[in-house]
Structure 1
Amino acid sequence: MAKRALDRDYAPSDDEEYMSPQQLNYFRVLLLEWKKSILSASENTLQSLQDGPIREPDLNDRASSETDWGIELRTRDRQRKLISKIDSALRRIDAGEYGWCEVSGEPIGINRLIARPIATMTVEAQQAHERREKVSRDD
């Protein structure tokens, strides 16, 4: 399917056919723009790292800068994992599986997908999954 620009006036609603071509395009463009912004931020981080090591003369300032860089790098690692989830959502759009719960097969829901475009489960299925994870961690 050809990529089109996101119509800024369009917002998916429950009043239209679920996962219509217009809705799928909306989410495709939303996901691609999200991925682009993450990659842009990553390039800025990489450029800052290439500009040279931290050269703070004061040990406290250096420790603070190193802590900031550690946080920045952990954030970038989380975003790298997020890009993988975005790519997976784009593949689901192409396969005609986007918007449907991978557990129940039920619609995930427009509002949930707007809030979390990479969602793969309904709220109920996600809550059940998290309860199972918590029980297995507590064992």
Structure 2
Amino acid sequence: MENRPLTEQDIQNDNGEDYMNSQHLAFFRQYLLNMKAQLLENANATSQHLQEQEATPDPADRATLEEEYALELRTRDRERKLLIKIDQAINRIDQGEYGYCEDTGEPIGLKRLLARPTATLSIEAQERRERLKRQYAD
């Protein structure tokens, strides 16, 4: 393979040989760092947006604004949780554990990681956990 940074297309087309080599790790590290930067930018924009708002005397307008704020804050809370998962994934890269299922030790797969770069379980292990969860919920 050439010595250039990989692209998403390269990951999509990868045949799975030499799984989680240094180029794969570099790609996913940068991918995760880009996600993190975007989430932090969103959080900053929300913070500024909430500080800039002024009170409105109309109760209907105020209710609409409050609903928009609540939705925005719920979104940021989900993103805050994702930031934690991103940091954990970067730590797994540093530890040499990234890309492997925490239950089975099997490769998670490049395409799954591209779709969900914070994944810690293979599809099979994830499905097994979900079946068990449903079993105990019933």
Q: Where does residue 135 of structure 1 map in the other structure?
A: 135
Report the Cα offset of residue 16 of structure 1: 3.6
SS in 2 for 1:11: helix
Q: Is the 8 A contact 2:106 2:122 kept in 1?
A: yes
Q: Where does residue 99 of structure 2 map in the other structure?
A: 99
Report the Cα offset of residue 131 of structure 1: 1.4
Report the Cα offset of residue 8 of structure 1: 4.3
Letter in 2 for 1:95: Q
Report the Cα offset of residue 20 of structure 1: 0.5
Q: Where does residue 69 of structure 1 map in the other structure?
A: 69
Q: Is the 8 A contact 1:104 1:125 kept in 2?
A: yes
Q: Is the 8 A contact 2:92 2:98 kept in 1?
A: yes
Q: Where does residue 36 of structure 1 map in the other structure?
A: 37
Q: Is the 8 A contact 1:14 1:110 kept in 2?
A: no
Q: Counterparts of 2:125 and 2:8 in 1: how far apart (Å)?
A: 32
Letter in 2 for 1:89: A
Q: Is the 8 A contact 1:109 1:122 kept in 2?
A: yes
Q: Where does residue 27 of structure 1 map in the other structure?
A: 28
Share of identical aligned residues, percent?
47
Q: Counterparts of 1:99 and 1:14 in 2: how far apart (Å)?
A: 15
Report the Cα offset of residue 51 of structure 1: 2.1
Q: Where does residue 115 of structure 1 map in the other structure?
A: 115
Q: Where does residue 83 of structure 2 map in the other structure?
A: 83
Q: Is the 8 A contact 1:108 1:120 kept in 2?
A: yes
Q: Where does residue 126 of structure 1 map in the other structure?
A: 126
Letter in 1 for 2:10: A
With over 3 angstroms needed to count, the CA separation of the structure-2 counterparts of 1:17 and 1:7, relative to structure 1, is: closer
Q: Gaps (5+ residues) in structure 2?
A: none
Q: Gaps (5+ residues) in structure 1?
A: none
Report the Cα offset of residue 80 of structure 1: 0.4
SS in 2 for 1:103: coil
With over 3 angstroms needed to count, the CA separation of the structure-2 counterparts of 1:103 and 1:9, relative to structure 1, is: closer
Q: Counterparts of 1:52 and 1:135 in 2: how far apart (Å)?
A: 47
More helix by share: 2
Q: Is the 8 A contact 2:5 2:23 kept in 1?
A: no
Q: Counterparts of 1:8 and 1:104 in 2: how far apart (Å)?
A: 28
Scaled by the length of structure 2, the TM-score of the pair is 0.89
Question: Larger relative contact order (C-alpha < 8 A, sep ≥ 6)?
Answer: 2
